[in-house]
Amino acid sequence: MSDPVHEALDHRDPEGARVGMWLFLLTEMLLFGGLFLLYAVYRGRYPHEFASAGKELSHVFGIANTFVLLTSSLSVACCLTALQKGQKRLCMTLLAVTALLAVTFLVNKWLEWGAKIHHGLYPGGPGLIGRPPGEVLFFGLYYSTTGLHGLHVLAGLIVLVVVLGLVAVDRVTPDDHVLLENAGLYWHLVDVVWIFILPLFYLTV
Amino acid sequence: MHIVEYRTLIVVWLVLVGLTAVLVAASFVSPALAVLAMLFITPTKAGLVLYIFMHLKYEAPLFKIMVLVALATLVIFIGMTFLDVAFR
Amino acid sequence: MSQHEPAGADARSYLDRQGAGGLWSWIGSVDHKRIGVLYLTLMVTMFWVAVTIGILMRIEQWTAGPTIMQPATYNGLFTVHGVIMIFMFVVPGLPAVFGNFFLPILIGAGDVSFPRVNLASWWFFVTGALLAVLSLFTGSGAPDTGWTFYAPYSLRTGTNVSLAVFAAFVLGMSSILTGINFITTVHRLRAPGMTWHRMPLFVWALYATGWIQVIATPIIGITLLLVIAERFFGIGVFDPAKGGDPLLYQHLFWIYSHPAVYVMIVPAMGAITEIIPTFARRTIFGYKAIAYSSLAIAAFGSIVWAHHMFTSGMGEAANLVFSLFTFIVAVPSAIKVFNWTATLYRGSIELAPPMLYALTFIFLFSLGGLTGVMQGALALNVHLHDTYFIVGHFHYVMFGGTGFAFFAALLYWFPKMFGRMYCRATAVVAWVPLFVGFNLFYFSMLVLGLMGMPRRYFDHLPQFHTGHSVATVGAFVLVLGLAIFFGNLVKALFRGERAPADPWGGRTLEWTLSSPPPVENFAAIPTITGGPYAYNPGRKA
């Protein structure tokens, strides 16, 4: 910050920065891990209710959003390759594409949740009153998990936009690209979590 | 610094999309097949993202150990919780 | 003053005025030493707040029936006492203060890997502390759930649980960031020649602690978020009325909170491991055993959580397995105790104040640990659970253990941190009421618990009256000791003699620096050629 000594100490250690980022990602995995623990227990306890409630989720939204996230993972991975090869324009385009895909995901999520809430399928909502406990829990977990995941998408979107700006002003360059790398890592993790969410919630038959 | 070629990335993406298609298809065939597909395909997909997209393959062993420790711990947490809920 | 001036004695100390000076040069500083002092200031403040609350509870127990408060107030007080002491004193205690200040120095680095993240971590800590304090005075009353926030009561109570829970979540983020920083620093910033087996054992302890913080804290994070979601939206996952299972709350809570007690104790053990060889003038006995036992505690400590739930109605399989692991986890702790004792054997022991407190730690921690092992036995646990025995045991471990280690570490490193020496005689004088008061207070609790006094009751039956009176007297003696102890240090801060670079004859790297250390720690990053405790050359560590 204002202190020159510590500015100098804040030397570049890209591998160290990646170690730190990976550790942070591990905490994210465990954060969602707690939800998956609850899911596992309740699915074991209420298998039929989980199956019948799962049928009410929209396959189309789930599968479409999977496709969106997988593709955004590809584009963000490519933009690191682009920057490493010195293709700054391509890198920025791909970052913008990734950010757009993130927005697409959020819009889909918004529509999906909107439809559910419209039918009264939310905690304490009219659509869930009188349902067996297993189904209520399914929707409770569905909203908690996809909601937390959605917040991460939003955070990732902000990170992507910031990094896009940093690439534009050459703060992130082919020689010093750890920020882009770490932003990409974060975005991939959001994808990894969704890879688990899809079969657990949307494809439970 | 390792550069992963575009071609590799695109191939991985194609595999991921393909695996998703299999997963979805299996879930329409029978519940047993759906669970089986979930148990095998989902970790494979996540592994591909971690290993190639996230460059874990090209990182020092420390990174792989860290991820392994965290995931193993999570599995132990879930497994040991079932010591209670499965035998209550 | 020492005969040979240490390197960098003429360099600017980190305490000297920097930049424009003023408050901002502290609360905006990314210097790990300043951040350590920031933590120390805030934590000691919160410690005294919680001590005051504790004393109010003891006064309440002075007579049967309401003495100075009503039951609801008492419920609020023990909750807040627990939340503050746990999340704002013992969890961050040693790592945030001494870890921040000394970890980089001990491995020959200029700072931690992510200095700005380190500052952010302190700010999270401040935010969490403020929210916690705010939760007492806003909304409809202080949270009354106990620091464990057990469901379903925490979902139903009308008190201000949501804010308190969110405060704990923010404090958890602070803890995670510190852990990430320490692990990365140990991996990336060790000085040339500082191999893993040449690291001081405090660093090993911090490293193991960092892993617990990273792996376990997110679980409490999601649990607390779910409690909030449950209170606002009624998602049902912990609510039996909706088919949820409140025992799962307990599982998730203890998956973090049991490892968290090792976050509290492992760095304390690490600090003790630094102090013992210095004042026994002897290389630590069993370096590797101590180093790896820290990791073993981290690993085994993560799989014993359900021993807090033996009477909650778990399945028998879980009871048996968790009981077994509980006995096993005592082994690495015992390894440390044996190695400390073996280090003392045939050493030239100097009973300087830090050593006195360190030895007290070993005694009190052993009592705490052994009363803990007792509770690992299922049959006995049924009798002891939710009695004062638990409270007594917990305070022996956390106060007698972590608390006394904190005092020992403070006495050991105070001259280095602030460049001033406190009055040694006063530090010894303070020890007497601390030790006597402590044992009067908490041993009475152990006895009361065995007699059947339940915890968290604001009242007591006549047969417990004597025990409660002794405990209250002990509490006052203890607070007297605390006042002398901290008064001594505050006085030294302003009027203490200048401390030499190495007042204790320590051998680790921090003693090669001037007191207080220069801003940049080392003028040039040192090259390490040997182990950390080179007292008896010719002997292998």
Q: Give the CA radius of gyration of chain C.
A: 23
- pLDDT of A1 higher than 50: no
- As a whole number of angstroms, the distance between CA C194 and CA C213 comes to 24
Under an 8 A CB cutoff, do C233 and A37 touch? no
Under an 8 A CB cutoff, do A188 and B53 touch? yes
- As a whole number of angstroms, the distance between CA C340 and CA A81 comes to 53
Under an 8 A CB cutoff, do C315 and B69 touch? no
State residue A61 phi and psi, 5-degree precision. -60, -45
Q: Does C520 touch chain A (CB under 8 A)?
A: yes
Give me the sign of the Cα torsion angle C203, C209, C215, C217.
negative
Give the Cα-Cα-Cα angle B51, B36, B10 (nearest 5 degrees).
Answer: 30
- Looking at residue C193, what is its pLDDT? 95
> Searching chain A, which residue's CA lies closest to the CA of residue B70?
A26
Q: Which chains touch A (3 or more CB pairs under 8 A)?
A: B, C
**Residue-by-residue DSSP string for C245-266:** -HHHHHHHHHHHHHHHHHHHHH
Of B73, B77, B83, the CB nearest to C318: B83
- As a whole number of angstroms, the distance between CA C161 and CA C169 comes to 12
Beta carbons of C107 and C24 less than 8 angstroms apart = no
> Searching chain B, which residue's CA lies closest to the CA of residue A23?
B66
- pLDDT of A5 higher than 60: no
- pLDDT of A4 higher than 70: no
| Angle in degrees, 0-180, between the axes of helices B31-48 and A178-197, rounded to the nearest 10 | 180
CB-based contacts of C97: which residues, under 8 Å, 6+ apart? Answer: C36, C39, C40, C43, C406
Under an 8 A CB cutoff, do B74 and A40 touch? no
Single out the residue of C379, C378, C367, C377 nearest to residue C333, CA to CA.
Answer: C367
Q: Does C295 touch chain B (CB under 8 A)?
A: no
Under an 8 A CB cutoff, do C315 and B87 touch? yes
| Angle in degrees, 0-180, between the axes of helices C71-83 and C115-137, rounded to the nearest 10 | 180
Of A3, A13, A23, the CB nearest to C180: A23
Kindly state which CATH superfamily the domain A15-202 is placed in: Cytochrome c oxidase, subunit III, four-helix bundle (1.20.120.80)
Beta carbons of C437 and C476 less than 8 angstroms apart = yes
pLDDT per residue rounded down to tens, chain C (541 residues): 334 445 545 678 999 888 777 888 999 999 999 999 999 999 999 999 999 999 999 999 999 989 999 999 999 999 999 999 999 999 998 999 999 999 999 999 999 999 999 999 999 999 999 999 898 888 888 899 999 999 999 999 999 999 999 999 999 999 999 999 999 999 999 999 999 999 999 999 999 999 999 999 999 999 999 999 999 999 999 999 999 999 999 999 999 999 999 999 999 999 999 999 999 999 999 999 999 999 999 999 999 999 999 999 998 999 999 999 999 999 999 999 999 999 999 899 999 999 999 999 999 999 999 999 999 999 999 999 999 999 999 999 999 999 999 999 999 999 999 999 999 999 999 999 999 999 999 999 999 999 999 999 999 999 999 999 999 999 999 999 999 999 999 999 999 999 999 999 999 999 999 999 999 999 999 999 988 998 865 454 4
| C-alpha dihedral (A112, A117, A121, A122), degrees to nearest 10 | 110
State residue C516 phi and psi, 5-degree precision. -70, 160
Q: In angstroms, what separates the C-alpha of C377 from chain B's closest C-alpha?
A: 17
Single out the residue of C49, C64, C54 nearest to residue C458, CA to CA.
Answer: C64
pLDDT band per the 50, 70, 90 thresholds, residue B88 = confident
- As a whole number of angstroms, the distance between CA C177 and CA C213 comes to 9
Q: Does B32 touch chain A (CB under 8 A)?
A: no
N-term to C-term CA, chain A: 55
In a mutagenesis test of the B interface, which of A25, A74, A197 is the best target, namely the one with the most B β-carbons within 10 Å?
A74
Beta carbons of A194 and A108 less than 8 angstroms apart = no
- pLDDT of A83 higher than 50: yes
- As a whole number of angstroms, the distance between CA C448 and CA C464 comes to 7
Mean pLDDT over the full length of chain A: 92
Give the Cα-Cα-Cα angle C19, C23, C25 (nearest 5 degrees).
Answer: 30
- Looking at residue C460, what is its pLDDT? 95
Single out the residue of C208, C168, C2 nearest to residue C80, CA to CA.
Answer: C168
Under an 8 A CB cutoff, do B84 and C255 touch? no
- Looking at residue B1, what is its pLDDT? 67
Cα C483 versus chain centre, distance: 19
Structure tokens belonging to residue C501: 């670079």
- Please state the ipTM of this predicted complex: 0.95
In a mutagenesis test of the C interface, which of A23, A28, A179 is the best target, namely the one with the most C β-carbons within 10 Å?
A23
Neighbours of B75 (CB within 10 A): 11
Under an 8 A CB cutoff, do B38 and A191 touch? no
How confident is the model over B33-39, as a mean pLDDT? 90
- Looking at residue C22, what is its pLDDT? 84
- pLDDT of A152 higher than 60: yes
Task: Provide the residue type at C383 as one letter.
Answer: H
How many CB contacts within 8 angstroms connect chain B with chain C? 46
Beta carbons of C515 and C416 less than 8 angstroms apart = yes
How confident is the model over B19-48, as a mean pLDDT? 93
Looking at chain B, the number of H-run helices and the number of E-run strands are: 3, 0
Q: Does C313 touch chain B (CB under 8 A)?
A: yes
Cα C401 versus chain centre, distance: 8
How many CB contacts within 8 angstroms connect chain A with chain C? 136
pLDDT in tens, C447-461: 999 999 999 999 999
- Looking at residue A205, what is its pLDDT? 58
Give me the sign of the Cα torsion angle C380, C386, C392, C396.
positive
- pLDDT of A11 higher than 80: no
pLDDT in tens, C318-350: 999 999 999 999 999 999 999 999 999 989 999
- As a whole number of angstroms, the distance between CA C250 and CA C322 comes to 14
Of C187, C215, C251, the CB nearest to B73: C215
Under an 8 A CB cutoff, do A77 and B38 touch? no
Beta carbons of C163 and C169 less than 8 angstroms apart = no
Helix (H) or strand (E) holding B21: helix B6-29
| C-alpha dihedral (C260, C266, C267, C273), degrees to nearest 10 | 170
Beta carbons of A66 and A198 less than 8 angstroms apart = yes
> What 3-state DSSP class applies to C110?
coil
Neighbours of C316 (CB within 10 A): 12
Chain B positions in Cβ-Cβ contact with residue A70 (cut-off 8 Å)? 13, 16-17, 20
The CATH number of domain C24-512, selected from 3.40.50.720, 2.170.120.12, 1.20.210.10, 3.40.462.10: 1.20.210.10
Q: Which chains touch B (3 or more CB pairs under 8 A)?
A: A, C
Of C187, C302, C315, the CB nearest to B83: C315
User: Which residues is C420 bridged to in the sheet?
Assistant: C498
- Looking at residue C136, what is its pLDDT? 84
